[in-house]
Chain A
Amino acid sequence: MTDSKILNIPQQGDLGVDLLQSRVPDGPLADKWTNHKNNIRLVNPANKRLIDVIVVGTGLAGSSAAASLAEMGYNVHAFCFQDSPRRAHSIAAQGGINAAKNYQNDGDSVYRLFYDTVKGGDYRSREANVHRLAEVSRSIIDQCVAQGVPFAREYGGLLDNRSFGGVQVSRTFYAKGQTGQQLLLGAYSALSRQISKGKVKMYNRHEMMEIVVVDGKARGIIAKNLVTGEVERHSAHAVVLASGGYGNVFFLSTNAMGSNVSAAWKAHKKGAYMANPCFTQIHPTCIPVSGHYQSKLTLMSESLRNDGRIWVPAKSEDAEAVRKGTLKPVDIAEEDRDYYLERRYPAFGNLVPRDVASRAAKERCDEGYGVNETGEAVYLDYASAFERYGKTEANVLGLENPSDEKIRELGKAVVKAKYGNLFDMYRQITDDNPYETPMKIYPAVHYTMGGLWVDYNLMTTVPGLYAAGEANFSDHGANRLGASALMQGLADGYFVLPYTIGDYLADDIRTGPIPNDSPEFMKAEAEVKDVLERLINNKGSLPVDDFHRRLGRIMWENCGMARNGQDLSKAIEEISALRKEFYENVRVPGTLDGYNPELDKAARVADLLELGELMCKDALVREESCGGHFREEHQTEEGEALRRDEEFTFVSAWEYKGEPKDAVLHREELEYENIELKQRSYK
């Protein structure tokens, strides 16, 4: 009997089925977006001045959307919780941004980028959306260069590209290891220009607390001024959520400390469906957890796997000794090492996709072969790369019979030139010298493919409420390819949403300003104040982080790299109990007035405590393995992920019904007309 039957989970909701209309335009795939743009309604410039739009979040999607909408003539009200829009977490993206420019003349095309993205997502994304993403990718690079974004260039003065994430072309544009920073500062510049013109009113250090729905349409938000503590009512004709992902539900992740799900979750509770919430990307090469008080995890670029070899001791007594500090990794003989990726996946070796590499590391550590104090780390070893590069270099220099030491020295210099900044970062954090001893790495939560369900126009199931960037579920299916997050954020914000939103706002040219003192606004404001008062007046004894950390542990153990029905069912109960305990025993210091980050954190963790439960339920219902979602019950004899296309080629869209675990499932069936579904293999 399957777990879904035990829990009596309905496979299709009986209400609101009509809301799930993808509104994908008719016609051939390659013409859909052009035709759609030609046919949707426009709002004339004079009328745009009569329309207000709220944008929540100022990362790549939010900043670019706010700037573009303001340029077009709308009155934009933009909100961010940081002290400046420039600090949104898009800034931390390292690697690059994909675009189908084919500057390298390696056969790249819009179709190939589309195909790679759908395949990389393990066939769980919507064809038409992904094709549009690939189409507009080219404009993004043009636009950013025109804004003065300093991408890396070749000596000839033209743009440089790098390869990424196992695709067969070189289409990633980059600015050293700071591509996200440079793109965000470009969007921030465009936003700043509009702020100076008065077309964007910017609200820094403001948190969205609630969506206000009037007559079935999103008409504004309740926001909290984080500095004064004041709860404010903001009205508009439409609301755009570009509030990012929810990886922080795991407590430890590569997300920023402030990243949260609250804006999206409030929307969910007001009628927006949450799509594929269990699809989480766990990145294999992060610096491991060092202790209980660890607050976040740091990513080491995926590029390190090109030259490094991943291993653990083959004997458990060696692993034990390494953990105790009585044995050094460099003293373990070659035959006593288990290069487990090379052993299991001879064809791809250390270069298997992110999800496969992550699961394999977990499997070894679960078996007791982990190599740090917590038992959750594996080695990433550059010794053989030093030797390989050193020998080549010695040949180039014409050295006869160089000593082993000389070869290693030459090799280290080559590695330093390629990866020096990453090695420095590793040393800074761990105090270990990676040129002398293997690095320790472990997988960490990095990105969430799931998010608010949106149609082709990026509108949620609440009319007038849009979601862009990581906050929506749109383009990455069950697994995101490297360098595609930046592409999607800017595509949504610069080139998709500003057009599609006009189709909705065309009805609002005679509406006039939306009053912010209607009963709906007053009620929403009162509810927000109630929630905050309940938190601050709670007479508990434990800090918010205590609950957040425990939630993270439940999620990581049961809804992380490998999941099974039994654990997920148990996790749902545990999260439910933890949420109850949170409201009984949390202590929030300070007062409602003034700047109180602990109160703001408590409100965010309260929402994560609900989201986690829905994620586990979604993972429980999806009885197949696909992309980042691995169900132990559904694997091949060799232990590889097993997709079940017959039963599960659909998007899970959840409708809120009180408790998160009571959510009702709606299915958007995915139809593949242009791509044949195939099982991935890396043997």
Chain B
Amino acid sequence: MDLTLKVWRQDGPTEKGRLDTHQLSGVTGDMSFLEMMDVLNDNIIREGGDPVVFDHDCREGICGMCSMFINGQAHGPGRGVTTCQLHMRSFKDGDTITIEPWRATAFPVVKDLTVDRGAFDRVIQAGGYVSVNTSGETLDANTIPIAKADADEAFNAATCIGCGACVATCKNASAMLFVSAKVSQFALLPQGQPERKRRVTRMVDQMDKEGFGNCTNTGACSVECPKGIDLTNIARMNRDYLNASIKGE
């Protein structure tokens, strides 16, 4: 198929960006979206130009590195997929595709379609862990039974890949879905209880410090999330945060 691509190009965080137009032919439906981008870059390099810079690594939907805003949707059309799992058969011959980076104050553009998601790391560093040393001298793993329903729900929250699609999708650029997924994972497990209040307070404070917006319960984040992280996690985090604010850490 033949495509018209409008691709965001930006040399650095403080440079002015622009949409460049490229014509691309010979795209097949079996190519993934990133393989289509490979073809584009291959053409650009052979013609002596500068290829488009974009983040990608595992190309199987789990590392969370790829992050394209395609035709106004995080990771493009389709539900439950990352950009690398999107295939070109979702498009048709003659389509025009607009490709932009995640846009949020807390995610400055590094170059072209690549953004800096260091804010997510700093939120985790603020408290997204259980304080246990790695000596191996802990309890036997089966000492504390955990109800299967709780373990499964903790797992569902823990499947967040930290891609940032929720932030890119939210009209307020809120990171509540990401933060609440990690808060929930530990809130649902006995190992997370001793630091539960301290954790939620610190992570939310760091989230605010990073410049993410607030949640207005639109729910678009959960719809666009490639892992389907549930909105109830945000409710759980709000409840925990309120509890910690009133009763103290």
Let me know if B155 and A182 touch, CB within 8 A. yes
B245 at the interface (CB under 8 A from A): no
A188 at the interface (CB under 8 A from B): yes
B102 to chain A, nearest CB (A): 12
What separation, in Å, do the CA atoms of A587 and B145 have in the docked complex? 59
What separation, in Å, do the CA atoms of A330 and B2 have in the docked complex? 34
A10 at the interface (CB under 8 A from B): no
A130 to chain B, nearest CB (A): 18
B23 to chain A, nearest CB (A): 17
Let me know if B111 and A594 touch, CB within 8 A. yes
What separation, in Å, do the CA atoms of A258 and B35 have in the docked complex? 15
**Which residues 208-229 of B have a CB within 8 angstroms of A?**
none
Q: Which residues of B contact A82 (CB under 8 A)?
A: 57, 63, 65
With both beta carbons as reference points, the residue of chain B lying nearest to A546 in the complex is identified as B42
Let me know if A190 and B63 touch, CB within 8 A. no
Q: Can you list, as one digit per residue, whether each of A293-313 has a CB less than 8 Å from chain B (1) or not (0)?
A: 111101100000000000000
Q: Which residues of A contact B20 (CB under 8 A)?
A: none
Q: Given A84-B121, A494-B134, is A181 in contact with B62 using a C-beta cutoff of 8 Å?
A: yes
B114 at the interface (CB under 8 A from A): yes
Q: Can you list, as one digit per residue, whether each of A177-208 has a CB less than 8 Å from chain B (1) or not (0)?
A: 01011100100111011011000001010000
Let me know if A148 and B186 touch, CB within 8 A. yes
What separation, in Å, do the CA atoms of A590 and B204 have in the docked complex? 40
What separation, in Å, do the CA atoms of A152 and B130 have in the docked complex? 19
Q: Given A83-B117, A147-B191, A589-B50, is A157 in contact with B148 using a C-beta cutoff of 8 Å?
A: yes
B117, B128, B192 pick with most chain A CB within 10 angstroms: B128
Let me know if B50 and A147 touch, CB within 8 A. no
Q: Which of B41, B81, B138, B155 contacts A143 (CB 8 A)?
A: B138
What separation, in Å, do the CA atoms of A204 and B53 have in the docked complex? 17
Which listed segment binds B: A133-141, A449-457, A673-681? A133-141
What separation, in Å, do the CA atoms of A10 and B211 have in the docked complex? 63
Let me know if B28 and A92 touch, CB within 8 A. no
B189 at the interface (CB under 8 A from A): yes
What separation, in Å, do the CA atoms of A372 and B231 have in the docked complex? 42
**Which residues 68-84 of A have a CB within 8 angstroms of B?**
68, 71, 82-84
Q: Which residues of A contact B135 (CB under 8 A)?
A: 143
What separation, in Å, do the CA atoms of A181 and B160 have in the docked complex? 10
Q: Please tell me the number of chain B residues within 8 Å of chain A, measured between CB atoms.
A: 78
Q: Which of B151, B161, B192 contacts A152 (CB 8 A)?
A: B151
Q: Which of B28, B53, B159 contacts A597 (CB 8 A)?
A: B53
With both beta carbons as reference points, the residue of chain B lying nearest to A254 in the complex is identified as B60
Q: Given A541-B46, A598-B45, is A89 in contact with B124 using a C-beta cutoff of 8 Å?
A: no
With both beta carbons as reference points, the residue of chain A lying nearest to B57 in the complex is identified as A256
What separation, in Å, do the CA atoms of A498 and B67 have in the docked complex? 36
B14 at the interface (CB under 8 A from A): no
B168 to chain A, nearest CB (A): 15
Let me know if A143 and B136 touch, CB within 8 A. yes
Q: Can you list, as one digit per residue, whether each of A117-149 has a CB less than 8 Å from chain B (1) or not (0)?
A: 000000000000000000010011111111110
A30 at the interface (CB under 8 A from B): no
B56 to chain A, nearest CB (A): 6
Let me know if B45 and A543 touch, CB within 8 A. yes
B246 at the interface (CB under 8 A from A): no
Q: Can you list, as one digit per residue, whether each of B3-45 has a CB less than 8 Å from chain A (1) or not (0)?
A: 0000000011000000000000000111110110011011011
A398 at the interface (CB under 8 A from B): no
Q: Given A86-B162, A159-B142, A429-B87, is A293 in contact with B39 using a C-beta cutoff of 8 Å?
A: yes
Q: Which residues of B contact A196 (CB under 8 A)?
A: 125-126
**Which residues 426-452 of A have a CB within 8 angstroms of B?**
428-431
**Which residues 117-135 of B have a CB within 8 angstroms of A?**
117-118, 120-121, 124-126, 128-135
A12 at the interface (CB under 8 A from B): no
Q: Which residues of B contact A316 (CB under 8 A)?
A: none
A354 to chain B, nearest CB (A): 19
Let me know if A298 and B57 touch, CB within 8 A. no
**Which residues 383-436 of A have a CB within 8 angstroms of B?**
428-431
Q: Which residues of A contact B48 (CB under 8 A)?
A: 587, 589
A152, A156, A181 pick with most chain B CB within 10 angstroms: A181
What separation, in Å, do the CA atoms of A204 and B228 have in the docked complex? 27
Say which size band chain A's interface belongs to: 35 or more
Q: Which residues of B contact A193 (CB under 8 A)?
A: 125, 129, 131
Let me know if B65 and A151 touch, CB within 8 A. no
Q: Which residues of B contact A545 (CB under 8 A)?
A: 38, 42
What separation, in Å, do the CA atoms of A263 and B38 have in the docked complex? 25
Let me know if B146 and A157 touch, CB within 8 A. yes
A175 at the interface (CB under 8 A from B): yes
A67 at the interface (CB under 8 A from B): yes
Let me know if A595 and B31 touch, CB within 8 A. no
Let me know if A257 and B45 touch, CB within 8 A. no
With both beta carbons as reference points, the residue of chain A lying nearest to B64 in the complex is identified as A87
Let me know if B138 and A67 touch, CB within 8 A. no
Q: Which residues of A contact B148 (CB under 8 A)?
A: 153-155, 157
A176 at the interface (CB under 8 A from B): yes
A204, A590, A597 pick with most chain B CB within 10 angstroms: A597
Q: Which residues of A contact B46 (CB under 8 A)?
A: 541-543, 587
A84, A85, A204 pick with most chain B CB within 10 angstroms: A84
- Can you name 14 extra interface pairs (CB under 8 A) apart from A84-B121, A193-B131? A83-B114, A92-B62, A142-B141, A145-B141, A146-B132, A147-B130, A153-B145, A153-B147, A189-B128, A256-B58, A257-B59, A293-B31, A296-B60, A428-B81
Shortest Cβ-Cβ A-B pairs, 9 listed: A157-B145, A139-B136, A189-B129, A150-B155, A146-B138, A196-B125, A290-B30, A145-B141, A150-B154
Cross-chain pairs A/B with CB under 8 angstroms, 20 sampled: A85-B121, A86-B64, A87-B63, A139-B136, A147-B130, A150-B158, A153-B152, A158-B142, A159-B141, A180-B62, A196-B125, A254-B60, A256-B57, A257-B57, A293-B31, A293-B38, A431-B30, A545-B42, A589-B49, A589-B50
Query: Chain A: residues with CB nearer than 8 A to chain B?
Result: 64, 67-68, 71, 82-87, 89, 91-92, 101, 103, 136, 139-148, 150-159, 175-176, 178, 180-182, 185, 188-190, 192-193, 195-196, 202, 204, 227, 254, 256-258, 290-291, 293-296, 298-299, 428-431, 494-495, 498, 541-543, 545, 587, 589-590, 594-595, 597-598
